[in-house]
Amino acid sequence: MVELTKEKIVTKLAVPILLAILILGCANQLPPGGGEVDTTPPQITEVFPENGAINFTGGYFDLTFSEYVEKRSFRDAVFISPIIDGNPEISWSGKSVRYYFPESLKENITYNITIGTDLVDYNNKNRMAEAYSFAFSTGDFIDNGSIEGTVFDEKPSGVMIFAYRIEVDTIDPAKHKPDYVSQVGQNGYYKFNSLAEGTYRVFAVKDEFRDLIFQPDQDKIGVPYQEVVLTREDSSFRGMNFQLMKIDTISPRLFSAVMTDQNHILLTFSEEIDTGSIKAYNFLISDSLGQMQLNPQYAFKGKTKEKEVVLSLKELADPDNAHLLIAENVFDKSGNKTDRDTVSLTISDKPDTLSPVLFSTIPATGAKEVDFLTPEFTFFFDDGFDFEFIKNEIFISDTGNVPVLFKVVKLDDASFQVKIEQTLKTEKDYLIRFNLKNIFDAAGNGYSDSIYTYNFRTITGLDFTGLSGTLKFADPEQNPVLILKSKEKANLSYTMKPDKEGNFEFSRILPGKYLLLCFLDTNFNGEYDFGFPFPYFPSENLSYYKTEINLPARWSVTNFEFIFNEELR
């Protein structure tokens, strides 16, 4: 029998106790079992140097957080203004971190350190609620300039704010990194502090690559409505608000053309095409010697993916010869066009035996909340046909067969829109009927004799709501325009202009939750102009009402007060 000494017993007990302590210590970094999930964002509780420190000569700064944070997210969330190039050394100790500057700080400069909202905690990936900033100076005073505002976007958190100090007007955010950087919080608010005197141009950028460079093909951008001049006497600027846009200056390219059968060609472009510009005469099929040329009969969007378009052929091409497909003057959604694109085309001899199918309507058939004032209905087929043969075959009436006035508008060779041209009765059922017997595709497939019926019901008119009040501090000479935008229904908005005293009234509004905004339509085109980053062209001044507006059914909200750029008052 092995005899255990007192020392051996202590050693044997110490090892498992030490292991248990280590395991428990590691477990503290994991989410606790059971209970409510932590949704509290991390906060910064201590900082060195302290905010406002002067004559700073150190080579690092320290931060302590309220909880463990994800180290990688911290590295991505640190922004130093003015920018310091190089790779920093970062040292962690529990909830504290030390960040060593990659190069010596310049003399007599105010530096601003921002920890952006990309920072998340370790356990539940909660983001910082808003960016945290502190400033120190290597000289004997702190610059006190500030710029603040709001980015209006569905998901503003994480949007970057780039500020450029202008000395010569050659600033291009697609080429130049900003002098100062901040990041937007969950509510869209941002603020630059400790800015030096000077003239600034500020952009809001959804910087997907986090490289501090605006990438037009990837990033959305907000352009300022004016430049900001900061002086010792006037050192703050509020109300620099942004609405983001996607800039597209690149022409669409035709990537491929594939024959799905002998009568149909599926085209794939580099981006989404403006369906209103799709015309059969924009396309040509040619053999490799240019001796045989065919024009498609129809061109349409149909039931395809975002970047696809369909062509229908009536004349058949020879499958034994090599062919090319040529596209000219095809426009994308931003108005850019392709001059001439050519791709190879392999001819198919597979016959087309399918008749056209009506696959979608807007609104869906059976809709029960159709407005009785000039409603519109859109019909989508999956194949092209001659529009002239259907526009005279449409009949609209109530269920008592009383006819309704309307007009029909062609959208492309496979879709059209019906627009009612009279006021309908409330809470009444209506029918849209058309005869499909004259609808034939390019291959001659069609219906023998079929009547299609679409039904809908109008609303009562009593459930409408409204909003009326006064717009204040918006110069009537700059043509203010109000927009009431639904938060629940995409593409639902109402636009109006207040009178010279600022009085406005939105009526016949569908109940729901809304945002209210106002812009100064200085060019009187009725639309908000986003501006352009380079060459710089300013946007139009924009202001949002700060809170959501709930408009209940059968109850109009009155005496509403909207203060333009309220933060300035």
Residue 35's pLDDT band (boundaries 50, 70, 90)? low
Percent of the chain exceeding pLDDT 70 equals: 93
Is the confidence at residue 17, as pLDDT, over 80?
no
The pLDDT of residue 33 is 52
Residue 21's pLDDT band (boundaries 50, 70, 90)? very low
Instruction: Decide: residue 294, CB within 10 A, 0-12 exposed, 13-18 middle, 19+ buried.
Output: middle
Is the confidence at residue 83, as pLDDT, over 90?
no
Write the CB contacts of 187 (distance below 8 Å, at least 6 apart in sequence).
130, 150, 156
What domains can you pick out in the chain, each with its CATH number?
44-246 (2.60.40.3710), 265-345 (2.60.40.1220), 358-458 (2.60.40.1220), 465-568 (2.60.40.1120)
Is the confidence at residue 126, as pLDDT, over 70?
yes
Q: To the nearest 10°, the Cα dihedral for 118, 121, 123, 127?
A: -50
Q: How far apart are CA 61 and CA 134, in angstroms?
A: 11
The pLDDT of residue 34 is 53
Is the confidence at residue 16, as pLDDT, over 60?
no
The pLDDT of residue 22 is 43
Q: Please give the average per-residue pLDDT across 218-228, as a whole number.
A: 96
Residue 19's pLDDT band (boundaries 50, 70, 90)? very low
Is the confidence at residue 442, as pLDDT, over 90?
yes
Residues 389-435 have pLDDT tens digits of 898 899 999 999 999 999 999 999 999 999 999 999 999 999 999 99
The pLDDT of residue 467 is 98
Q: Please give the average per-residue pLDDT across 55-72, as a whole number.
A: 97
Residue 233's pLDDT band (boundaries 50, 70, 90)? very high
Is the confidence at residue 249, as pLDDT, over 90?
no
Q: Please give the average per-residue pLDDT across 282-302, as a whole number.
A: 90
The pLDDT of residue 564 is 95
Residues 155-200 have pLDDT tens digits of 898 899 999 999 877 899 999 999 999 999 888 999 999 999 999 9
Q: Please give the average per-residue pLDDT across 251-262, as a whole number.
A: 96
Is the confidence at residue 93, as pLDDT, over 90?
yes
- Name the pTM for this structure: 0.78
CB atoms within 10 A of CB 287: 17
Q: Please give the average per-residue pLDDT across 501-518, as a whole number.
A: 96
Q: What are the contacts of 356-365 at 24+ separation with CB within 8 A?
A: 356/381, 356/382, 356/383, 356/384, 356/385, 356/414, 356/439, 356/440, 356/441, 356/445, 356/446, 357/381, 357/382, 357/383, 358/452, 359/303, 360/303, 361/454, 363/456, 365/454, 365/455, 365/456
Average pLDDT, the chain: 91
Going by C-alpha positions, the residue among 64, 235, 69 that lies closest to residue 134 is 64
Q: How far apart are CA 172 and CA 165, in angstroms?
A: 12
Cβ atoms of 249 and 216 within 8 Å: the answer is yes
- Report DSSP letters for 170-222, one per residue: ---TTT---SEEEE--TTSEEEEEEEPSEEEEEEEE--TT-SSS--TTT-EEE
Residue 318's pLDDT band (boundaries 50, 70, 90)? confident
Is the confidence at residue 289, as pLDDT, over 80?
no
**Among 284-293, 320-329, 349-358, 431-440, whose mean pLDDT is lowest?**
284-293
